[in-house]
Amino acid sequence: MKKNVWLLVGGSLSLVAALLHVAIILGGPEWYRAFGAGEQMALMAEQGSSYPAQMTGVIAVVLASWALYGFAGAGVLPRLPFMRIALVLIAVVYVLRGLLGVPAVLWADQPYFSELAQELTFMLLSSAVCLLLGICYAVGTWQVWSRIKKRGGSDIPVY
């Protein structure tokens, strides 16, 4: 059976992003700074706080779960519950982050966003990646929509 390339790419890039977040935890304060987590997160990591690692770990787990849904939707992993809603929500979150990330940091009156506005290259790059991921999930989901059937209250792909 032909695999869905869009969801395969989306899942793969989500997995890379999840692994990058794990690398940031291992890389420590300088990695938090380099990848746009903000000076406050970097300072907390320098002071030995577990908060930055916990928050970054949660993000890594979310991104890894999104990768699993991408792979399941692509037909390379077994079915997962709530496939339709999960794939749609993943696409929406990525697209919104891609489209609204830069405007949010430029126009919001919030200290963390003001700090991110100083890192506009990072914001433009990360927003472009998120928009690409959102497009991958949206197109891939649209392509497999008819093969994902509802059964027993949960969405299950039927291939």
Task: Return the domain boundaries, the chain.
Answer: 5-157
pLDDT-above-90 percentage for the chain: 72
Model confidence at 152: pLDDT above 70 = no
Does the pLDDT value for residue 101 go beyond 50?
yes
Using the predicted structure, report yes or no on whether residue 57 has a pLDDT greater than 60.
Answer: yes
Q: What pTM value is reported for the model?
A: 0.88
Which stretch of 65-74, 107-116, 120-129, 140-149 has the lowest confidence by average pLDDT? Answer: 107-116
Q: Give me the amino acid identity at 70.
A: G
Question: Among 40-54, 55-69, 145-159, where is mean pLDDT lowest?
Answer: 145-159
How many C-beta neighbours within 10 Å does residue 64 have? 17
Residue 49 has pLDDT above 60, yes or no: yes
**Residues in Cβ contact with 69 at an 8 Å cutoff, skipping those fewer than 6 apart:** 11, 80, 83, 86, 87, 90
**DSSP state for residue 140 in the 8-state scheme:** H
Separation between Cα atoms, residue 91 and residue 133, nearest integer Å: 7
End-to-end CA gap in the chain? 8
Cα 91 from Cα 136, distance rounded (Å): 8
Q: Quick check: 159 pLDDT over 60?
A: no
Give me the pLDDT at residue 117, please: 83
Provide the strand spans (E) within the chain: 148-151, 154-157
Structural tokens at position 29: 């304060």
In whole angstroms, give the CA distance from residue 7 to residue 85: 15
pLDDT at 156: 46
> Positive or negative CA dihedral for 73, 77, 79, 81?
negative
